[in-house]
Amino acid sequence: MSNQRIDSGNNAAALAVQLCDVDVVAAYPITPQTPLTEKLSELIAAGEMDAEYVAVESEHSAMGVCIGAASAGARAFTATSSNGLLYMSEQLHWAAGARLPLVMCIANRGIGAPWSVWNDHQDAMSQRDTGWIQLFAKDHQEIVDLTIKAFRLAELVHIPVMVNYDGYYLSHTYMPFELPAAAAVKEFLPPYAYLHTLDPQQPESLNSVTLPDARQDVHGVTQGGYMDIRHNLHLEMRQAMEVLQEIDAAYQQAFGRGGVPLLDPYRCDDADFVVVAMGSLANQLRDVIDQLRAADNLKVGVLALQIYRPFPTAQLAAALQGAKGVMVFEKGLSYGNQGALYADLKSALYPYPARPQLHNFILGLGGREIRTADLSQTLKTACLQPAQSLPEQTDTPHWMGLQL
């Protein structure tokens, strides 16, 4: 049976991981992820979760342990934040290249230098090209639901999945959520299976040096070269969006929640202007546009991306076709260019004739407060101002909330 809880986002993630029958947890402490892995160590030590807890000496090793465990037939999990995620970076590429169905939670935090323990999305955005699927939760319920779905997705497509949730805004706040019944999750998530489990009975040499060109194996069958293998990863990552939609439908049937696996629109049907964001900011923006609709009669909607990689290109283009203006709010950027999400979104819209006016706002870096009044004013101005005469003016990101 399911139960209602009021708990932190980190504990919500831990309880979801407990439900997923994880075999191996390897983790290294980093703020603001730490309470999640503390909770898992507690559940394991108390015998409430049958798993190995490996207290490693670094995030690089945390992912190393997960890579080894997943290759050897165990469901593995880790979690991190910020510089911890970056320290794992080569391991992330390795896990994706090895097609290991890992799941990792990220309590998103700004990256040093200078040190910041507060929230933004630069950690996840900087790892967008690792070959991991990246999901973004907006609240505690989504942390639970996405984590459970992530295991099924990873194991169906053999691509690792990151579940992102905002540090402090979600990781440390308490919210109500429903925890699914253990038996139902067990039914939803079949036992762990990996195609190339390390097995002395069926010996395989995994991830060995692979030549640029395709090459015959000892049976005379041509096997792909490095580029062919990498193309498969890309192709199957694109296909993962369909798989996620199927998983979401099954989840909705089993648990009554879902229906918006890729994009989550709010009041977008009649909207002239659409605000695009990821994570908890999208929920904050819902309140802002409710106000704008009521007080200023502006037809604004919010479109939350639930998935950033693979990028929901076609879905996003379809959702934004009719809009007059699109405002992309991001807690991170590609330094020297623009917000990464903005650039991706712009490229998704390029092939279509009816392109809305686009705006890019960078905000909340390193935990800089995102005031609802500022969001409201910024949006109002963006909706009401006429199109800029110089294209590069609108294409330059606007930094919101600067104090100097």
State which of residues 12, 51, 281, 305 lies at the interface with another protein (CB under 8 A): 51
Cα gap 334→11, rounded to integer Å:
32
State which of residues 8, 10, 34, 71 lies at the interface with another protein (CB under 8 A): 71
Size of the site for another protein (CB under 8 A): 48
Q: Would you count residue 64 as binding another protein (CB under 8 A)?
A: yes
Q: Would you count residue 55 as binding another protein (CB under 8 A)?
A: yes
CB of 76 to another protein, least distance (A): 7
Stretch that binds another protein, among 21-29, 39-47, 301-309, 357-365 (CB under 8 A): 21-29
Residue 141 neighbours by CB under 8 Å, 6+ apart: 12, 175, 177, 178, 257
Cα gap 131→153, rounded to integer Å:
14
Cα gap 259→312, rounded to integer Å:
15
State which of residues 74, 86, 117, 181 lies at the interface with another protein (CB under 8 A): 74
Question: CA 41 from chain center: how many Å?
Answer: 24
Contact 321, 351 (CB under 8 A): no
25 is written with which tokens? 């947890």
State which of residues 23, 178, 290, 374 lies at the interface with another protein (CB under 8 A): 23
Stretch that binds another protein, among 7-15, 62-70, 111-119, 328-336 (CB under 8 A): 62-70
Q: Which of 55, 32, 31 shows the shortest CA–CA distance to 42?
A: 55
State which of residues 14, 20, 36, 66 lies at the interface with another protein (CB under 8 A): 66
Backbone φ and ψ for 164, nearest 5 degrees, come out as -95, 135
Question: CA 282 from chain center: how many Å?
Answer: 14
Q: Would you count residue 156 as binding another protein (CB under 8 A)?
A: no
Name the DSSP class of 126: H
State which of residues 2, 3, 207, 388 lies at the interface with another protein (CB under 8 A): 207
Q: Would you count residue 44 as binding another protein (CB under 8 A)?
A: no
Signed CA dihedral, 83, 146, 326, 127: sign only: positive
Residue placing its CB nearer to another protein in the complex, 74 or 243: 74
State which of residues 115, 186, 215, 387 lies at the interface with another protein (CB under 8 A): 215
Rule CB under 8 A: which residues touch another protein?
23-24, 26, 50-52, 54-58, 60-74, 76, 90-91, 94, 198-200, 202-211, 215-218, 223
